Chains A and B, each alone.
Chain A
Amino acid sequence: MTEVLVLSQTDKQQAPVLSEQTPTVTAEVIAEQVKNAYEQQSPLKIIGCGSKAFYGRSISGVELTVSGYSGIINYEPSELVITARTGTPLREIEQLLAEHGQMLGFEPPEFSDNATLGGTIACGISGPRRPYTGAVRDFVLGATIINGKGEILKFGGQVMKNVAGYDVSRLMTGALGTLGVLLEISLKVIPKPAFEETRILPYNHQQMCTLLSTLGRQPIPISATYLHNNLLYVRFSGAKAGVVSAAENIGGDVLRQAELFWHQLKEQRLPYFNQDRTLWRVSLPPSAPCIPDLLVDTESITEWGGAQRWVYPKDTDALQQWASDNGGHASGFRNRCGASNSKANSSDANGSTFSPLSPALLTLSKRIKNSFDPHNILNPGRLYKDL
């Protein structure tokens, strides 16, 4: 780790780091396509690289491919900001950051070798570090987008703080491309922790809750948790001395090859995820109780200190109701019955089933969609039937 730090020190006087890659398509060309679609009121389906096509409802439309709009535009380690075109492979960004001892704080899943920055932001899925360092949206500083009229617009910027106008760049995060085609994104980046260690404890759900509730009120550098089959994994990150003392304090066994484990968890490559049925994600307040056995298979994975749970439901409607009663929401995340597009979704009416919005929120959301996309041509119906 010290080596990496030294690297970034010698580096900071140099000019901004740019990637050699030049985009194979210009923003204007993409905007022109959107403008035509707007004029003809013909729906578009925005494609990054396809790694997260399973996420969201399946839709039809003329394909608008943005992967050609790629390349890192600006990166200066001492500014803690990277700006890149949305077609840039996530992996390229992560590699460059790693060379400078930095990383994306939300530990994004890739779900494929060529996942793009655009798809990552549009899906807004964050990895194990999320409760402790922040979600995708927390790191988005600025966005250049094409709205549904084909206008290229720029919101936010490359600085840490910016309150000029409404926060449109964060609004784009997780909107699945229904409010705008993302062209360029500026992200805050953070230093890689100097040291990490993971401990395993023989804890059940209740024991986990009690432990994490106590630890949460102390300045302990937890950076991820995972509970499965009564084994609790806790990762600590930070300065070596602090991590070592925190890890010794909670005890348990040290997890070997921890980096590989957390990677497999975020990429959903653990065997639990590889089942021929629809995986559901339940987002809850961390201390919400165990999901009743009546609703889901007993075997589940709990992450984020209790705030994110992966389950195979027995009754999806009842699960959504239960989640909502307990202050959260549940959505069908991934349908594995077949990996390629439309066929996959025939078994599950429309791909992902996001938790229903209250009537007031749905009305407001439609008006917001309409304000960005008056002819309803950007990924229409991808998020909800009407959004």
Chain B
Amino acid sequence: MNSNIAASIRTKRLASLIPMLSMLIPEDAILSEPEQLKAYECDAFTTMRQIPLLTVLPDTIEQVQHIMRCCHALDIPVVARGAGTGLTAGSMPVENGVLLGMSKFNKIHDINLHNRTAWIDPGVRNQAVSDAAAPYNLYFAPDPSSQLACSVGGNVAENAGGVHCLKYGLTVHNILELDVITIEGERITIGGQALDAAGYDLMAVMTGSEGLLGIIVGIRVKLLAKPASARVLLAAFATIEDAGNTIAEIIGAGIIPAGLEMIDQKGIQAIEALMHAGYPVDAAAVIICELDGSVEEVEDELTSVITILNRLNASDIQISTNEAESKRIWAARKAAFPALACLAPDNYVMDGTIPRRALAQVWTRINQLADEYQLLVVNVFHAGDGNMHPSILFDSSDEDQHKRANDLGTRILELCVHVGGTISGEHGIGLEKINEMCLQFTGAEISQFHALKNAFDDKSLLNPGKQIPTLARCTEFHAMHIHNGEMPFPHLERF
């Protein structure tokens, strides 16, 4: 927007909004100084930034309702923020909009042992839920690698997953009820304490709605019993094909591992340099497989997995015999992000998900594309469910590199869609992948998404401009694609 116009809107909005907010919100919960606002200008996708009009940090549900009523009355956009660990600019403020920080909602109100549920605030950290449930031998299953920092409200808004979601499901499978404030400031209960609720499955719609449909102010999560036994196994492969086939064979044999991860050679080397976990640095790929359940079950499955590994030429097989060893293998995997940070200043993490059968093909093709764009791409990902996380390493201060990284990202996502997959398995769309939505959905589908959004928020004030592109934006994006001589998929005939 023209900066003069933006500045005048800003002045007008501040003048009308602050007095109205102040009727119910304490002064110290309204941040308006530039240096205060700076802390909220981006999430973990740091290459996109925007200073908000105001940041408001409510600590009661009534305050949230009041903020929504004010913004609704004045037509001011609202962006919710959990812990800001999102990777897609989802909680990045919008110009002249309010940033609603949910960090003060940080209490675990109730753990129900009989129903195995907990009623928690949206700002509670993911790990804190499992910690609180641990004395009862229970835990909260979704475990994103960011679990020490990210909020459960953010997990619901993104439908976050983790290394254990192949067996235990995503966030959508592990929550029962939401307390939601609509853009009009109305409080609604969605789902319930029972296993299902009357009417439409609004839990499904709210989960993964990226703050576009309502503000989550309470969550009833399911808690699961901790498995009696868990063994982690690491194996190296000389070819990506063998590693990929191993994944397919394990699952084809009727085994659902608690986690099934794969790391490519560059990833192994980066992790090993940082963590010294004993990863075999000359392997083309390693897989990490966790088996859990009763002691008997785990022993049975371990035998079957080892047979498969041997048949498919695995080497350097390491099997944890105690929790400390399991932790060591996992700690190294979970340190993938910091390890990659040592290789380049910026890391653009893709999140495409593909049918497992296409794994080796897609992997090979990504490496070709990386060469073509002269960028380093490292693959550390959830192989069990086909959720690839190719990391494009680059230096954003080099404009040309930055552009190449973005273009390569689009090509990789295009490839994922082409083999029958999706542009996002767990990180969401936000602003970062909004163009690629046009690759996956038709105009009619995108219009249907807008219609659904409109049912919740007819003024389009909740996180506007995110997640669902306008049709105009898609037209422009498709035109640009062709303009650059890159008709969609010209290079993909070989698949």
Contacts and interface: CB of A to CB of B under 8 A. Distances in A.
Given A163-B159, A166-B208, A360-B186, A327 B254 contact: no
Interface in B196-212: 196-202, 204-205, 207-209
Contacts of A151: 444, 448
Nearest to B436: A164
A384 B420 contact: no
Contact of A12 (B172, B195, B249, B455): B249
A155 B445 contact: yes
A238 interface: yes
Contact of A158 (B248, B293, B355, B456): B355
Nearest to A384: B199
Contacts of A383: 199-200
A175 B201 contact: yes
Interface string A281-301: 001111100000000000000
A358 B188 contact: yes
B53 to A, nearest CB: 27
A277 interface: no
Contacts of B202: 171, 361, 364-365, 368
Given A167-B204, A308-B195, A159 B422 contact: yes
Contact of B201 (A171, A307, A361): A171
A194 B297 CA distance: 10
B112 A78 contact: no
A368 B54 CA distance: 31
Given A209-B114, A221-B294, A163 B198 contact: no
Contacts of B52: none
B256 interface: yes
Interface stretch (B29-37, B272-280, B392-400, B425-433): B425-433
Interface stretch (A54-62, A128-136, A225-233): A128-136
B23 interface: no
Contact of B225 (A76, A137, A216): A216
A349 interface: no
A213 B111 CA distance: 13
Contacts of A138: 169, 172-173
Question: Which range contains the number of A residues in contact with the other chain?
Answer: 35 or more
A77 interface: yes
B251 to A, nearest CB: 5
B103 interface: no
A78 B251 contact: yes
A51 interface: no
A143 to B, nearest CB: 11
Interface string B65-86: 0000000000000000000000
12 contacts: A9-B252, A163-B422, A171-B201, A191-B255, A213-B114, A217-B113, A219-B293, A239-B297, A242-B293, A358-B188, A365-B199, A371-B451
Interface of B: 112-117, 136-138, 158-159, 161, 165-166, 169-170, 172-173, 182, 186-190, 192-202, 204-205, 207-209, 213, 225-228, 248-249, 251-256, 293-297, 299-301, 353-357, 382, 385-387, 420-429, 433, 437, 440-442, 444-445, 448-449, 451-456, 467-468
